[in-house]
Chain A
């Protein structure tokens, strides 16, 4: 194959040829930088294929770079000063060809230096800030460059789940679920992205005094030990809001729901006590303490099926209770009630229940470095370890959670927080802003200035015995988030409870007060152990045991006639039946088999 001319594609369509592709691309770039061609045009020269790809369509992800020419950044000190004094702005730099946007394809042609020092002769572009390589979400975190990559994603997930001041107007909002931290704090160490997003005004955590120490085995495997007095002072305390809403729905035939205190004759009446907190309009009042089983919104609905005409000709107005009750296992105070109407011009009620969530055993906390833990023990302040100055940690983090996860950022934050707390300053933890060693030295010198160990280690004394610990313990201040996974919203038990109508088996899930599934693999385990009676207990006695009458003559299923006090075979009408104990699921299976025109017959044999 001889020398082929260079193909030119515009938005993926071939439009012609050029002799020298590389030169052509350079020409386009030169024109774009002086403004002759729109800055939204990107051009890429593919060397291996010898073709030019020009893209000017929408939907390309692009990011800005500083242009480098002959080994020198176009963003000069002079421009930097002017930008600082607001004489010029970012758009000025764009127009003057100092900064340009590249798309993914053109980026393949660029040689980008991460910072000014690494610019070589071949360099074509310079990153505006090295921190940009992490993207916005990770840059909200501090010292991300010192953490293991996997921890970033985990940390981002935890921040999503953290409780804080999610909206200033939370009082006027009716979110289905909401958590508001009582005393949110701004972190001592933050970053450029954190400040630019103004997150300290919506912060979602608190600065905890953390000692990296064990505590009698109570913080093994990501468990946490927290200080009871700190909790009493408001550490991690938050309010939980849940909105219950209901509307007066209209039904075909002119019927509609009504908000009211249901009459005792209503179908499915929950008993006088359940409605006792409702006011006359059937809606609960503000600031009423409520507990499980209380009705928040009393509502009656028309019956599900049309009434049959009685012989008297007059149909009695029957109704069905359809009230909204507080969720199982929850309690609180009615925070607010709102009465409005829907777009369909029906009444709409929203009530918001508030409850205080004090940190307790089983609640989850996480730092900004993907270090999560569940509270396993709340210790009296007197029993916590303390320093010579009487500083008592809020939280004890197990040292084993650090080396394996390689979250060095967590440790740097510990001493940064400590130095900041001592000197009363905030520190910047933006990625790559300072070299790691310089950073640690800087914090260390501050600590030394205040008479502390420069590595953050402290002599601690055991609160229970008063004895000094054999080792110095790494202590500092870390910003922790309280996550919305809390035991009080998850804990569930069942010994007796509702069953499903179809199968007569226990229901599933917390809202239905359900049981825990005894599944196939659990069944196999019992078979494998030969535990036949335990298996029978799980699969029959504690599940869907049923007494079924079986005809001794025809083998079909019958029933017991309580009027005549005899069992009756529904197949041959005889009375020669035997009561057999089987699982209701089997009776259901027999019914389903019958529905496919197969008649199963059961032949009984006495043991």
Chain B
């Protein structure tokens, strides 16, 4: 065992770590309420919590139901609220629709008249000019602006695409990071400010001046994998599992969620636990058939002539052999026939 670190030595060889992890997470999981109530706080964002969140992680959903980020700021500005506020303004996405007072559409003339809300503009610190300049980026749009009124003329071939273009105008992003409809400035106990966001866009936030690029946290596992890599995603899975459990008041040893994260990511991509992931890609035909979709696995095994080497636990319990876990791992090094040659000392 030379060269192994101390932690790995804490587990005896042949220990069924997977079953122990499953039981250690599963048993308190039975006590978790399926729909836990999240307190409707003013300065907190909605995130999935409790059992639904654990299911979300373990199923490896492409995107969480409520993605969110913690954005740490560079230490030079993190303590000055005004500077943090400026960063926040860069992050929260402002759409045309959110500064609109009213609008009218003229499909025949292919023009759209927007009337902007002055109060909303000032609160976001945007000028009507700025809005107009953004709208000009829409392909085929010619914009004329007069005070708070903006006229957009769009050249499209038919009426239907004109309609969709009108919707695009209202949906157009004026400023901020795309995919972040809401952001909040919050304060750490030591006085430093940080920003939490609803919606996740790590790459977008990283480009903003004042953001500490090395400390952006997102709960979107797949995005973390794309931006930071698989190791970061593994850590995220482990910590998100651990944190959701401890939030519900269950103390689980970190090694259990850690093992789950390892099994989900050790191939380099994120795999779900279950039929479409880890369990469905087991080597043994019997182990897969014992889990779900029995007939499918047997027919495929028949068609492709699969071989089952009977190495795993499930297969060996099925045929009635001693399983190679725990006490069953130990094998005699001397062969039976060789024993005959051994002579006892007189």
B322 touches A536 (CB 8 A): yes
**What is the chain A residue whose CB lies nearest that of B22?**
A524
**In whole Å, how far is B280's beta carbon from the nearest beta carbon of chain A?**
19
A581 at the interface (CB under 8 A from B): yes
A596 touches B322 (CB 8 A): no
A527 touches B327 (CB 8 A): no
**What is the chain B residue whose CB lies nearest that of A597?**
B302
B313 at the interface (CB under 8 A from A): yes
* Chain B contact patch, size range: 20 to 34
Residues in B291-328 with C-beta less than 8 Å from chain A: 295, 298-299, 301-302, 313, 317-328
B327 touches A533 (CB 8 A): yes
Q: How far is the CA of A1 from the CA of B318 in the complex (A)?
A: 75
B320 touches A581 (CB 8 A): yes
Q: How far is the CA of A525 from the CA of B295 in the complex (A)?
A: 28
Q: How far is the CA of A519 from the CA of B105 in the complex (A)?
A: 68
Q: How far is the CA of A528 from the CA of B327 in the complex (A)?
A: 11
Residues of B within 8 A of A598 (CB): 298-299, 301-302
B320 touches A582 (CB 8 A): yes
B298 touches A523 (CB 8 A): no
Q: Contact flags (1/0) for B1-32 with A, using CB distance below 8 Å? A: 00000000000001110011011000000000
B16 touches A527 (CB 8 A): yes
Residues of A within 8 A of B317 (CB): 523, 535, 539
Residues of B within 8 A of A539 (CB): 317, 320
Q: Contact flags (1/0) for B315-346 with A, using CB distance below 8 Å? A: 00111111111111100000000000000000
* Chain A contact patch, size range: 20 to 34
Q: How far is the CA of A176 from the CA of B326 in the complex (A)?
A: 52
A530 touches B14 (CB 8 A): yes
A585 touches B327 (CB 8 A): no
B325 touches A586 (CB 8 A): no
Residues of A within 8 A of B298 (CB): 593, 596, 598
B326 touches A532 (CB 8 A): yes
Q: How far is the CA of A544 from the CA of B329 in the complex (A)?
A: 24
Contact of A535 among B14, B20, B318, B323 (CB under 8 A): B323
Q: How far is the CA of A599 from the CA of B329 in the complex (A)?
A: 31
Q: Contact flags (1/0) for A528-569 with B, using CB distance below 8 Å? A: 111111011001100011000000000000000000000000
Residues in A501-533 with C-beta less than 8 Å from chain B: 523-525, 527-533
Residues of A within 8 A of B324 (CB): 532
**What is the chain B residue whose CB lies nearest that of A538?**
B317
Residues of B within 8 A of A531 (CB): 326-327
A56 at the interface (CB under 8 A from B): no
Q: How far is the CA of A408 from the CA of B328 in the complex (A)?
A: 58
Q: Contact flags (1/0) for A584-607 with B, using CB distance below 8 Å? A: 011001000100111100000000
B319 touches A582 (CB 8 A): yes
Residues of A within 8 A of B23 (CB): 524-525, 528
Which 4 A-B residue pairings sit nearest by Cβ, starting from the closest? A530-B326, A532-B328, A598-B302, A583-B320
Other than the known A527-B313, A527-B326, A535-B323, what 7 A-B pairs have Cβ atoms closer than 8 Å?
A: A533-B322, A535-B317, A539-B320, A581-B320, A582-B320, A597-B302, A598-B301
Q: List 15 A-B contacts (CB under 8 A).
A: A523-B317, A524-B22, A525-B23, A527-B323, A528-B19, A530-B326, A532-B327, A536-B320, A544-B320, A582-B320, A583-B318, A596-B298, A596-B302, A597-B302, A598-B299
